[in-house]
Amino acid sequence: MQIFNTMSRKKETFVPLIPGRVSIYSCGPTVYNYFHLGNARPFITFDTLRRYFEYQGYQVDFVQNFTDIDDKMINKANAEGTTVKELADQFIKEYYVDAKGLNIKEATHHPRATESMVEIVRLIETLVEKGYAYTADDGVYYSVRKFPDYCGLSHFDIDELVQNSRKDVLVDSGKQDPVDFALWKFRKEIEPFWPSPWGEGRPGWHIECSAMSKKYLGESIDIHSGGQDLIFPHHENEIAQSEAASGKQFVRYWMHNGFINVNGEKMSKSEGNFFLVRDVANKFGYMPIRLFMLSSHYRTPINYTPDLLNAAASGFARIQTAMKTLNFVLASPLEPSNAEAAAAQKASLEEACRLAVEHFEAAMDDDLNTADALGSIFELVRIANTESAAPLSQEGLVLAKDTLERLCEVMGFSFVEEGAIPQEVLDLAEARQVAKKERNFALADSLRAEIQQRGYRITDTPQGPHIEAEA
């Protein structure tokens, strides 16, 4: 598999540190609100990456944190008259609701920063002992210029960063250099705090992820992922902290997804131009959101419009209908009268499935090109619909169904089993069949419309009418 490594700015062949095993740390949400479409993109992207590694037979250790202590958490808790912990508990619970809807697998570990204080303090102690950190008036800071590889990920010029920094911060905090960043912030009123060798306080944002990554995955990991907005300063600072402390390469492959934009501007809570996942799901469903995200390469920006979600909803309905049609056709054993035709259909479906899997894997191996890989799924959908109209080969159609299910599983598409069809809808369908036999087509059309008004769709197939809930 080829992965575009942000560090080298080129595609590289993926080789795990431990054969057969992949370690991934993916930056998770700051849990002070429901998450929006922009937040959802890395969750969906790197869940799909994990699924593809598992499809390939790897054991994946996947860590996604919850940032449950930072300025946003504190400000929101104070504004609402609650505690930071209560706020975090509320929105971690809500995260799982939306993540389940999007069929995002639970991580191997979902650590909270506040549950890793021992590891955070220990890591800062190591940096102080090695001369990479110092105590200032308002906390403990990392001395950036002592790490020679700083800006290796972002490729920024450190002197330009100094010119663009706020000079008043030096006076207010006692920082030695404008580019230095906080590892530990001394206690302030109405803020949570923890003990440390330097005084009560709380950790800086960047040290949290370094400590949690080391705690659950070790000093060196295969992949670190997140949005492009995290490249600098967050991921740059993680590298500086982790490598200064361990003396080892922190991450082998850095992966970053592009933004979701609205009218050309990055979707964000601070700009107020965001759409919550659950609000969009209430209109279009969760799975169309997932398809919408995966229909573009993960590194390219997506400009959100309702039309794109409508298209994704239609696309997912096509996949869902094909799956239901195959299940319906295969519900009873096929007994073809023409053995030669059945053998031909089987051979045709076997070749179609082979080509679909081959193309799918080639696309996914090319830097997780889900947009291209989806073409294999929709080609299988087209073939399945065509062959199901004249089903002959049980084995061939079972293979088509299994292949489609397998590829959809990698993409994280879930298909909710339809519930029992209400008896009144079944009665209407039966009355429609009688009307058709009596060639009373006006009545048959009227009964079809009534069925649709009740939220169901009826499709005529060679095996009889097929009823399903409207997607």
Over range 374-379, report the average pLDDT: 98
Instruction: Say whether 283 counts as a known binding-site residue.
Output: no
Question: Is the pLDDT at 464 greater than 80, yes or no?
Answer: no
Tokens of 125: 């102690």
For residue 42, which of 116, 99, 127 has the smallest C-alpha distance?
99
Of 43-52, 243-252, 459-468, where does mean pLDDT reach its minimum? 459-468
Task: Please report the pLDDT score of residue 415 as a whole number.
Answer: 85
Task: Please report the pLDDT score of residue 233 as a whole number.
Answer: 97
For residue 363, which of 411, 395, 304 has the smallest C-alpha distance?
411
Over range 142-170, report the average pLDDT: 86
Instruction: Say whether 235 counts as a known binding-site residue.
Output: no
For residue 411, which of 27, 45, 23, 26 has the smallest C-alpha distance?
45
Q: With bands split at pLDDT 50, 70 and 90, how would you rate the model's confidence at 162?
A: confident
Whether residue 373 contacts residue 45, with contact meaning beta carbons closer than 8 Å, is answered with no
Instruction: Say whether 238 counts as a known binding-site residue.
Output: yes
Question: Is the pLDDT at 418 greater than 50, yes or no?
Answer: no
Question: Is the pLDDT at 455 greater than 90, yes or no?
Answer: no
Structure confidence by residue, pLDDT tens digits, 185-202: 999 988 999 999 999 999
Question: Is the pLDDT at 291 greater than 60, yes or no?
Answer: yes
Task: Please report the pLDDT score of residue 240 as a whole number.
Answer: 99
Q: In what order do the strands lie in the sheet with 260-262?
A: 265-266, 260-262, 302-303
Instruction: Say whether 129 counts as a known binding-site residue.
Output: no
Question: Is the pLDDT at 420 greater than 70, yes or no?
Answer: no
Whether residue 3 contacts residue 46, with contact meaning beta carbons closer than 8 Å, is answered with no
Task: Please report the pLDDT score of residue 454 as a whole number.
Answer: 79
Task: Please report the pLDDT score of residue 4 as a whole number.
Answer: 99
Q: With bands split at pLDDT 50, 70 and 90, how would you rate the model's confidence at 331?
A: confident
Whether residue 403 contacts residue 394, with contact meaning beta carbons closer than 8 Å, is answered with no
Instruction: Say whether 405 counts as a known binding-site residue.
Output: no
pLDDT, averaged across the chain: 93
Tokens of 197: 């060798």
Task: Please report the pLDDT score of residue 225 as a whole number.
Answer: 99
Question: Is the pLDDT at 463 greater than 70, yes or no?
Answer: no
Task: Please report the pLDDT score of residue 164 as a whole number.
Answer: 77
Question: Can you tell me the distance from the alpha carbon of 281 to that of 123, in angstroms, rounded to the nearest whole number?
Answer: 41
Q: With bands split at pLDDT 50, 70 and 90, how would you rate the model's confidence at 57?
A: very high
Over range 374-394, report the average pLDDT: 94
Question: Is the pLDDT at 172 greater than 70, yes or no?
Answer: no
Question: Is the pLDDT at 170 greater than 70, yes or no?
Answer: no
Over range 72-89, report the average pLDDT: 97
Is the entire prediction scored with pTM above 0.75?
A: yes
